Amino acid sequence: MFLEYFNYWIVVFLMMAGFYIVIAHDNLIKKIVGLNIFQASVFVLYISFGKITGGTAPIIAEGFSVYSNPLPHVLILTAIVVGVATTALGLALVVRINEAYGTIEDDEIHKADEEED
């Protein structure tokens, strides 16, 4: 029982660590790194669904009959691309925020905004 699900649970742990970085940290770059980890762990979860014990990579070749499921792989390829697109955009925003506020800490930005109001 424990071993059968261990793989899923370790992924859950990684996911939650990433999620924690995103919502608990004030530093904008660290939030983005956290998002990446969060997403990468979700990818591992998907790929785990597709695994068959004793299977091989889904490239049809002679001598193999058991292949892992290709569909999660395809979905995750797409998701990785979406992830890197989000990262690039987020980092570009961070650069601009740093120029506009002189800081990349969330709480300091809030302070600056309140003073302005």
Site for other proteins in 22-61 (CB under 8 A): 22-53, 55-61
Which of residues 63, 113, 114, 115 is near other proteins by CB under 8 A?
113
Q: How far is the CB of 90 from other proteins (least distance, A)?
A: 5
Give the x-and-dash track for 62-91 against other proteins (CB under 8 A): -----xxxxxxxxxxxxxxxxxxxxxxxxx
Cα separation values, 70 from 32, 48, 86, Å: 29, 12, 25
Closest CA to 32 of 78, 81, 76, 89: 89
Q: How many residues bind other proteins (CB under 8 A)?
A: 99
Closest CA to 71 of 52, 89, 90: 52
